[in-house]
Amino acid sequence: MNISLAWLKTYVDFDLTAAELAHALTMAGLEVEEIGQGTKTTFSGVVIGEILSVERHPNADKLSVCSVRAGDDVVQVVCGAPNVQAGVKAPFAPVGAVLNGNEIRPVTLRGVQSQGMICSARELGLSKDHTGIMILDTKTAGAAGDPFTAANGSDDTTLSIDITPNRPDCLSHIGVAREVSVITGNPLTLPPSGCRETDRSVDEYISIGIEDSDACPRYSARYISGVTVAESPEWLQNRLSSVGIRPINNIVDITNFVLMETGHPLHAFDYREIAGKQIIVRKAKPGEIFTTLDDISRELTSDDLLICDGERPVALAGIMGGKNSEIGDDTTAVLLESAFFDPLTIRKTAKRLGLSTEASQRFERGADPNNTVYAVDRAARLIQELAGGTIAGGVADAYPAPVQPLAVSLRLKRLEAITGISIPADRVRDILTRLQLAPSGSDPLTVTVPTFRPDIKREIDLIEEVLRHFGYNTVPAAETILLPLGDTRNPLRDYTETLKDAAAGAGLHEVVNSSLVPSRYTELYVPEGNVPAGVKNPLNPETAFLRTSLIPGLLTAVSWNINRSHDTCRLFETGNVFSFRDTVSLPDETLTFAGVLYGRSGSSEFWSDEKEQVTFFHLKGLVETLLSRSYLRECRFTAEDHPLFAYGYTITAGDTRLGHFGPVAQSIREQWDIPEAAFCFELSVEHMLAASVPPVSRPISRFPAVKRDVAFIVPGEIPAGDIRACILRAGGAFLKEAALFDQYTGDSIPAGKKSLAFSLQFISPERTLREQDVDPAVKQIIESVGGTFGATLRS
Amino acid sequence: MTENSLQESVRTIRRDLESAIAAADSTQEIEALRVRFLGRKGAVSALFKQLGSVPPDQRKAAGQAINDLKQFGEDEISRLISRHAATTTTEAAPDLTLPGNWPQAGSLHPLTLVQRRIKTIFQNMGFAIADGPEIETEYYNFEALNIPKGHPAREMQDTLFVDNGFVLRTHTSNVQIRVMERQRPPVRIISPGRCFRRDTPDATHSPVFHQIEGLCVDEGITFADLRGVILNFARQMFGPDMKIRFRPSYFPFVEPGAEYDFTCFICMGRGCRVCKGSGWIEISGAGMVNPVVFETIGYDSERYTGYAFGMGVERIAMALYQVEDIRMFFENDLRFLQQF
According to the model, what pLDDT value does residue A98 have?
85
- Pairing type for strands A636-639 and A649-653 reads antiparallel
- Rounded average pLDDT over A766-785: 93
Q: What chain B residue is nearest to A508 in terms of C-alpha separation?
A: B106
Among the partner-chain residues B126, B223, B245, the one whose CB lies closest to the CB of A483 is B126
Q: Confirm if B256 and B223 have CB atoms less than 8 A apart.
A: yes
Do the Cβ atoms of A417 and B222 come within 8 Å?
A: yes
Among the partner-chain residues B108, B228, B250, the one whose CB lies closest to the CB of A481 is B228
Query: Residues near A249 by Cβ (< 8 Å), separated by ≥ 6?
Result: A229, A230, A231, A232, A327, A329
Distance in angstroms (rounded) separating the CA atoms of residues A287 and A606: 74
Among the partner-chain residues A504, A515, A560, the one whose CB lies closest to the CB of B332 is A560
The CATH classification of domain B110-337, taken from the options 3.50.50.60, 3.40.50.2300, 3.30.70.360, 3.30.930.10: 3.30.930.10
Do the Cβ atoms of B223 and A475 come within 8 Å?
A: yes
- The residue among A44 and A570 whose pLDDT is bigger is A570
Q: Report the residue count for chain A.
A: 795
Q: What chain B residue is nearest to A488 in terms of C-alpha separation?
A: B128
Whether residue A603 has pLDDT greater than 70? no
User: Å from A250 to nearest chain B CA?
Assistant: 33
Residue A700: phi and psi, rounded to 5, are: -100, 135
Whether residue B56 has pLDDT greater than 90? no
User: Å from A420 to nearest chain B CA?
Assistant: 5
Q: Confirm if B216 and B294 have CB atoms less than 8 A apart.
A: no
According to the model, what pLDDT value does residue A256 have?
97
- Rounded average pLDDT over A703-713: 93
According to the model, what pLDDT value does residue A128 have?
65
Whether residue B88 has pLDDT greater than 80? no
How do residues B8-18 score in pLDDT, each as one tens digit? 888 888 888 88
Q: What chain B residue is nearest to A346 in terms of C-alpha separation?
A: B150
- The residue among B23 and B309 whose pLDDT is bigger is B309
According to the model, what pLDDT value does residue B80 have?
81
* Residue of B119, B141, B164 to mutate, testing the A interface (most A Cβ within 10 Å of its Cβ): B164
Distance in angstroms (rounded) separating the CA atoms of residues B98 and B84: 28
- Rounded average pLDDT over A409-435: 96
Do the Cβ atoms of A418 and B288 come within 8 Å?
A: yes
Do the Cβ atoms of B111 and A512 come within 8 Å?
A: yes
Question: In whole numbers, what is the pLDDT of chain A averaged over residues?
Answer: 92
- Rounded average pLDDT over A161-178: 95
According to the model, what pLDDT value does residue B89 have?
57
How do residues A60-80 score in pLDDT, each as one tens digit? 888 999 999 988 889 999 998
Distance in angstroms (rounded) separating the CA atoms of residues B175 and A138: 64
According to the model, what pLDDT value does residue B6 have?
80
Q: What chain A residue is nearest to B250 in terms of C-alpha separation?
A: A164
B84 touches chain A (CB under 8 A): no
Among the partner-chain residues A472, A482, A539, the one whose CB lies closest to the CB of B198 is A539
According to the model, what pLDDT value does residue B157 have?
62
- Rounded average pLDDT over A708-712: 94
- Rounded average pLDDT over A454-470: 96
- Rounded average pLDDT over B279-304: 95
Do the Cβ atoms of A460 and B255 come within 8 Å?
A: yes
- The residue among A97 and A679 whose pLDDT is bigger is A679
Do the Cβ atoms of A26 and B153 come within 8 Å?
A: no
- Rounded average pLDDT over A223-249: 92
Whether residue A38 has pLDDT greater than 60? no
Residue A214 amino acid letter: D
CA angle (B212 as vertex; B208, B218 as ends), nearest 5: 145
Do the Cβ atoms of B338 and A509 come within 8 Å?
A: yes
Whether residue A40 has pLDDT greater than 70? no
Distance in angstroms (rounded) separating the CA atoms of residues B340 and B327: 16
Which residues on B lie below 8 Å from A586 (Cβ)?
133, 135-137, 166
According to the model, what pLDDT value does residue A594 have?
98
Do the Cβ atoms of B106 and A486 come within 8 Å?
A: no
* Residue of B104, B107, B223, B288 to mutate, testing the A interface (most A Cβ within 10 Å of its Cβ): B223
Q: Confirm if B243 and B271 have CB atoms less than 8 A apart.
A: no
How do residues A679-700 score in pLDDT, each as one tens digit? 999 999 999 999 999 889 988 8
Which residues on A lie below 8 Å from B150 (Cβ)?
343-344, 347-348
Beta carbon pairs, A and B, within 8 Å: 252
B218 burial (CB, 10 Å; 0-12 / 13-18 / 19+) is middle
Which residues on B lie below 8 Å from A557 (Cβ)?
332
Among the partner-chain residues A484, A485, A539, the one whose CB lies closest to the CB of B207 is A539
Query: Residues near A59 by Cβ (< 8 Å), separated by ≥ 6?
Result: A110, A111, A112
According to the model, what pLDDT value does residue B82 have?
80
Q: What chain B residue is nearest to A606 in terms of C-alpha separation?
A: B101
Q: Which pLDDT band holds residue B274 (cuts at 50, 70, 90)?
A: confident
Question: In whole numbers, what is the pLDDT of chain B averaged over residues?
Answer: 90
User: Å from B183 to nearest chain A CA?
Assistant: 12
User: Å from B56 to nearest chain A CA?
Assistant: 45
According to the model, what pLDDT value does residue A286 have?
95
B338 touches chain A (CB under 8 A): yes
* Residue of B119, B155, B163 to mutate, testing the A interface (most A Cβ within 10 Å of its Cβ): B163
Q: Which pLDDT band holds residue B83 (cuts at 50, 70, 90)?
A: confident
According to the model, what pLDDT value does residue B25 have?
76
Whether residue A602 has pLDDT greater than 80? no
Domain ranges within chain B, ordered by starting residue: 3-88, 110-337
- Rounded average pLDDT over A315-331: 95
Q: Which pLDDT band holds residue A103 (cuts at 50, 70, 90)?
A: confident
Q: Confirm if A515 and A576 have CB atoms less than 8 A apart.
A: yes
DSSP state of B105: P
How do residues A246-273 score in pLDDT, each as one tens digit? 899 999 999 999 999 999 999 999 999 9
Whether residue A152 has pLDDT greater than 60? no
Evaluate if pTM is beyond 0.90: no
According to the model, what pLDDT value does residue A392 have?
95
Which residues on B lie below 8 Å from A593 (Cβ)?
none
Q: How far is CA A73 from CA A49, A136, A290, A358, in A?
A: 10, 20, 58, 45
User: Å from A231 to nearest chain B CA?
Assistant: 37
Q: What chain B residue is nearest to A602 in terms of C-alpha separation?
A: B103
Encode A173-196: b = buried (16+ Cβ within 10 Å), e = exposed: bbbbbbbbbbbbebebeeeebebe
Q: Which pLDDT band holds residue A483 (cuts at 50, 70, 90)?
A: confident
According to the model, what pLDDT value does residue A264 have?
97
User: Å from B310 to nearest chain A CA?
Assistant: 17
- Rounded average pLDDT over B276-287: 91
Q: Which pLDDT band holds residue A155 (cuts at 50, 70, 90)?
A: low
Q: Confirm if A679 and A662 have CB atoms less than 8 A apart.
A: yes
% of chain A exceeding 70 in pLDDT: 97
- The residue among A528 and B80 whose pLDDT is bigger is A528
Do the Cβ atoms of A475 and B103 come within 8 Å?
A: no
Do the Cβ atoms of B249 and A164 come within 8 Å?
A: yes
Among the partner-chain residues B200, B248, B291, the one whose CB lies closest to the CB of A460 is B291
Name the least confident of A34-43, A517-526, B183-192.
A34-43
- The residue among A355 and A488 whose pLDDT is bigger is A355
Which residues on B lie below 8 Å from A460 (Cβ)?
255-256, 288, 290-291
Whether residue B229 has pLDDT greater than 90? yes
Do the Cβ atoms of B207 and A509 come within 8 Å?
A: no
Q: What chain A residue is nearest to B186 in terms of C-alpha separation?
A: A484
Residues 207-266 of B with CB under 8 A from A: 207-208, 218, 220, 222-225, 227-232, 244-250, 252, 255-259
Torsion angle, CA of B193/B196/B200/B204, rounded to 10 degrees?
-30
According to the model, what pLDDT value does residue B153 have?
67
B8 burial (CB, 10 Å; 0-12 / 13-18 / 19+) is exposed
Do the Cβ atoms of A575 and B194 come within 8 Å?
A: yes
Do the Cβ atoms of A586 and B112 come within 8 Å?
A: no
According to the model, what pLDDT value does residue A3 have?
95
DSSP string, A410-476: E-HHHHHHHHSS---HHHHHHHHHHTT-EEESSSSEEEEE-TT-TT--SHHHHHHHHHHHH-GGGSP
% of chain A exceeding 90 in pLDDT: 78
Whether residue A151 has pLDDT greater than 60? no
Do the Cβ atoms of B250 and A468 come within 8 Å?
A: no
User: Å from A239 to nearest chain B CA?
Assistant: 29
Which residues on B lie below 8 Å from A569 (Cβ)?
334
- Rounded average pLDDT over A498-512: 96
Which residues on A lie below 8 Å from B196 (Cβ)?
515-516
Among the partner-chain residues A463, A509, A607, the one whose CB lies closest to the CB of B107 is A509
Do the Cβ atoms of B224 and A421 come within 8 Å?
A: yes
According to the model, what pLDDT value does residue B156 have?
59
- Rounded average pLDDT over B259-271: 90
According to the model, what pLDDT value does residue A502 have?
96
How do residues A364-396 score in pLDDT, each as one tens digit? 999 999 999 999 999 999 999 999 999 999 999
How do residues A328-340 score in pLDDT, each as one tens digit? 999 999 999 999 9
